[in-house]
Amino acid sequence: MGIQIALAGNPNCGKTTLFNALTGSSQHVGNWPGVTVEKKEGRLRGHADVTVQDLPGVYSLSPYTLEEVVARDYLVGEKPDAILNIVDASNLERNLYLTTQLLELGVPVVVALNMMDVVRKQGGVIDVAGLSRALGCPVVEISALRGEHCVQAAEEAIRAAQAGQAAKPQRFDDALEDTLGQIEALVSPCCPPAQARWYAVKYFERDSRAKLDGLTDAVQAKIEAVIVSAEDAADDDAESLVTNARYVRAAVLARAAGRPAGQHRLTVSDRIDRIVTSRVFGFPIFAAIMFLVYYISISTVGTMMTDWVNDVLFGELIPPAVEGFLVSVGCADWLQSLVLDGVIGGVGAVLGFLPQMMVLFLLLAFLEDCGYMVRIAFLMDRLFRRFGLSGKSFIPMLIGMGCGVPGIMATRTIENERDRRMTAITTTFIPCGAKLPIIALIAGALFDGAWWVSPSAYFVGVAAIICTGIILKKTALFAGDPAPFVMELPPYHLPTVKSLLIHMWERAAAFVKKAGTVIFLACAAIWFLQSFNFRLEMVNAGESMLAAIGGVLAPVFAPLGWGDWRAAVAALTGLVAKENVVGTFGVLFGFAEVAEDGAEFWGTMAQVFTAASAYSYLIFNLLCAPCFAAIGAVRRELGGKWTLIAVGYQCLFAYAVALCIYQYGTFAVTRAFTPGLAAALVVTAAFVWLLVRPAKRPERKLQRAAAAE
């Protein structure tokens, strides 16, 4: 058996950063709590026999949150050979609270003081020797971000593991020590000696998740008697007694490290936060930033590069060269068509948007890493609370801007089951990276790059979440008050170029891989279906199998303004992967054939859409059911029944919004009253009613009960 080292620490102390540095893997590093819910395992670089575990961040080992349960089940149940406790040195006292608990587990502990670069920048020093003496375990100063001394910290942990010397628990005040000593004597026959202290404390706290099998009822009664007498003597409940004692120890330890207790001064971060999270400027600043992010990536910098890729690379360079080659080797017509129309047409159309995606990913990585995004969750908490969701629900949505799947998985951190469901249902309303090509295609091809189109996609997503929140919270299924959202705001910092590039590259690589696999296959399938009829004769697209299938589907979407069978089919292929919507357009509108004159592809597409139907198409694709991967993630998190509800709700919502957009947009131009418009008016009225009707409160029952008395 090799050596197991567990990384434990508060949320945001830099565990994942250190984990990545030690194992060379690239787990998601987020500047907000709760990103790591599952524990992740990796091999220590250069040590084949040492595994490192990245545990979820916790402030304490109490059993109140899912993160705490995951972390402590591992630490107590599977007993790593050593714990490497990451401590945010810029926030020492707060972090040492957890350390006092880790020292009780009967496992060797090494403390890594992280963020030393921040401490140094603030002009601080830490008395490492003094802290190490007070803790009774090795202490190493590191900076996970800059890669300083990370290896030394790991080696120190290996040494501790090999020595096998369990850490020494901190001593509390004499009265408490006396009580704990009595309980320890009672529990110690039933547990390993090294864990006696841990179980004594847990039994004292009446923590029902800590159970020792061998403990008889008689012994438990004795323990309860000890607890009650201690509580009476101190006139406080047992759990608070321990909590207070830990705070006292954490303060003593921080003083041993040369930090005056409770020190506080206004840092640059605090000053930035006064503006960025203020009631007045917070939301306008957020809106402006998100506007800029989408505007820059989709409408300016990104477009210039995308145009080059589309016009030059997939227009003038690749197709003629490939065509020339295929003709010269005497390739069959159908194969030429498959390669040119199917593969280059479809995959090329999707890959053309890679530059825009890379710019978007880079900007998002920056906002996330520097610490701005976590402020948004904080800001959103105020807004979300009004309609019964907490800011914690916004974190999955922030993650979902890259990809919905990890976003949906991040809903696990939400304790309240109803809020968790609602968040999982709404997370994919935020445009993920894969929806970006759709936005860019429609903004560029059908709106001539109008400045408002791409940012509006993001804001429609946020509005959809808020409206859904209001509507669903009024139903009995979701009613209830939000859980409090407590969170420490980490200081801002300038991300390293390397970490930004890694972030961007990871996502871009995943996108390219998808283009080469799923999208490639889907485009080939679309090409096949649009090139042959049911008797497998090669025909014009208009007479193909696909046209027949699309023809059945199209009338469903006619009220939304895009009854063209190609648009309907493209929306359907988005279920496989959202990029496919663009890939399918590429195949069906002959991206490769006409790309020599790039304008023509756009031109053919534009004939099928009006401004109103193009925007309705965009919004439908943003809000409707996500791709199968994301639906699968919802199923894993919520189960089959709730997945049906989620997908049904999303499609219905998307349909209703797209209907209204198209019908009102058309009316604004034509001034004609149509049945479609009437339907839109009915939908709008129903929607408004759902938004403003009085809420179904769970208290109703209570009120009725009270009235009956």
- Chain residues that interact with ligand GDP, rule: CB under 6 A: 9, 11-17, 29-31, 35-36, 57, 114-115, 117-118, 143-145, 369, 490, 493
Partner that binds at residue 34, options Mg ion, ligand GDP, none, CB closer than 5 to 8 Å by kind:
none
Q: Considering only residues 123-152, where is the footprint of Mg ion by CB under 5 A? A: none
Indicate the residue among 306 and 413 with the shorter CB distance to Mg ion. Answer: 413
Least Å from the CB of residue 427 to Mg ion: 19
Least Å from the CB of residue 15 to ligand GDP: 3
- Candidates 15-23, 517-525, 619-627, 657-665; binding stretch for Mg ion (CB under 5 A): 15-23
Residue 155, C-beta contacts closer than 8 angstroms, at least 6 positions apart: none
HSE-up of 423 (CA within 13 Å, CB side)? 32
Compute the distance between CA of residue 656 and CA of residue 679 in angstroms, rounded to an integer.
10
Least Å from the CB of residue 417 to ligand GDP: 24
Q: Kindly state the tokens that stand for 574.
A: 């988005």
Compute the distance between CA of residue 354 and CA of residue 509 in angstroms, rounded to an integer.
10
Partner that binds at residue 580, options Mg ion, ligand GDP, none, CB closer than 5 to 8 Å by kind:
none
Q: Kindly state the tokens that stand for 218.
A: 């008689």
Indicate the residue among 144 and 569 with the shorter CB distance to Mg ion. Answer: 144
Partner that binds at residue 315, options ligand GDP, Mg ion, none, CB closer than 5 to 8 Å by kind:
none
Indicate the residue among 143 and 356 with the shorter CB distance to ligand GDP. Answer: 143
Least Å from the CB of residue 414 to ligand GDP: 17
Least Å from the CB of residue 293 to ligand GDP: 18
Least Å from the CB of residue 467 to Mg ion: 32
Partner that binds at residue 31, options ligand GDP, Mg ion, none, CB closer than 5 to 8 Å by kind:
ligand GDP
Q: What strand order describes the sheet that includes 109-114?
A: 40-43, 50-54, 3-9, 82-88, 109-114, 139-141
Containing H/E element for 603? helix 598-608
Indicate the residue among 16 and 299 with the shorter CB distance to Mg ion. Answer: 16
Residue 452, C-beta contacts closer than 8 angstroms, at least 6 positions apart: none
Compute the distance between CA of residue 13 and CA of residue 98 in angstroms, rounded to an integer.
12
Least Å from the CB of residue 86 to Mg ion: 10
- Choose which of 4, 10, 16, 428 interacts with Mg ion (CB under 5 A): 16
Partner that binds at residue 144, options ligand GDP, Mg ion, none, CB closer than 5 to 8 Å by kind:
ligand GDP
Indicate the residue among 15 and 421 with the shorter CB distance to ligand GDP. Answer: 15
Compute the distance between CA of residue 91 and CA of residue 122 in angstroms, rounded to an integer.
12
- Candidates 12-20, 219-227, 253-261, 321-329; binding stretch for Mg ion (CB under 5 A): 12-20
Compute the distance between CA of residue 252 and CA of residue 240 in angstroms, rounded to an integer.
18
Partner that binds at residue 70, options Mg ion, ligand GDP, none, CB closer than 5 to 8 Å by kind:
none
Cβ contacts of 157-162, under 8 Å, gap ≥ 24: 157/5, 157/82, 157/83, 157/84, 157/108, 157/110, 158/3, 158/5, 158/47, 158/50, 158/82, 160/82, 160/108, 160/109, 160/110, 161/3, 161/4, 161/5, 161/81, 161/82, 161/108, 162/3
What are phi and psi for residue 618, nearest 5 degrees?
-60, -50
Residue nearest Mg ion, Cβ-based: 16
- Candidates 34-42, 311-319, 595-603, 636-644; binding stretch for Mg ion (CB under 5 A): 34-42
Indicate the residue among 197 and 503 with the shorter CB distance to ligand GDP. Answer: 503
Indicate the residue among 35 and 453 with the shorter CB distance to Mg ion. Answer: 35
Least Å from the CB of residue 18 to Mg ion: 9
Indicate the residue among 196 and 487 with the shorter CB distance to Mg ion. Answer: 487
Dihedral sign for Cα atoms in the order 322, 324, 328, 334 = positive
Question: Can residue 36 be called a binding residue for Mg ion (CB under 5 A)?
Answer: yes
Identify the residue whose tokens are 């179904």: 696
Indicate the residue among 35 and 379 with the shorter CB distance to ligand GDP. Answer: 35
Compute the distance between CA of residue 341 and CA of residue 349 in angstroms, rounded to an integer.
11
Least Å from the CB of residue 105 to ligand GDP: 19
Indicate the residue among 477 and 501 with the shorter CB distance to ligand GDP. Answer: 501
Indicate the residue among 85 and 663 with the shorter CB distance to Mg ion. Answer: 85
CA-based R_g, the chain, Å: 30
Name 88's bridge partners: 114
Least Å from the CB of residue 487 to ligand GDP: 12
Total number of residues binding Mg ion (CB under 5 A)? 3
Indicate the residue among 30 and 302 with the shorter CB distance to ligand GDP. Answer: 30
Indicate the residue among 143 and 584 with the shorter CB distance to ligand GDP. Answer: 143
Partner that binds at residue 493, options Mg ion, ligand GDP, none, CB closer than 5 to 8 Å by kind:
ligand GDP
Cβ 233 vs Cβ 161: under 8 Å: no
Read off the DSSP letter of residue 671. Answer: -
Question: Can residue 580 be called a binding residue for Mg ion (CB under 5 A)?
Answer: no
Cβ atoms within 10 Å, residue 511: 25
Least Å from the CB of residue 360 to Mg ion: 23
Residue nearest ligand GDP, Cβ-based: 14
Least Å from the CB of residue 392 to Mg ion: 16
Helices (H), 295-435: 301-307, 318-328, 333-337, 348-351, 354-370, 372-386, 394-399, 404-409, 417-426
Cβ 334 vs Cβ 538: under 8 Å: yes
Compute the distance between CA of residue 670 and CA of residue 558 in angstroms, rounded to an integer.
17
Query: Nearest CA to 425 among 436, 441, 406, 411?
Result: 411
Identify the residue whose tokens are 């707060």: 94
Question: Can residue 12 be called a binding residue for Mg ion (CB under 5 A)?
Answer: no
Partner that binds at residue 131, options Mg ion, ligand GDP, none, CB closer than 5 to 8 Å by kind:
none
Indicate the residue among 72 and 259 with the shorter CB distance to Mg ion. Answer: 72
Partner that binds at residue 145, options Mg ion, ligand GDP, none, CB closer than 5 to 8 Å by kind:
ligand GDP
| Contact set with Mg ion (CB under 5 A) | 16, 35-36
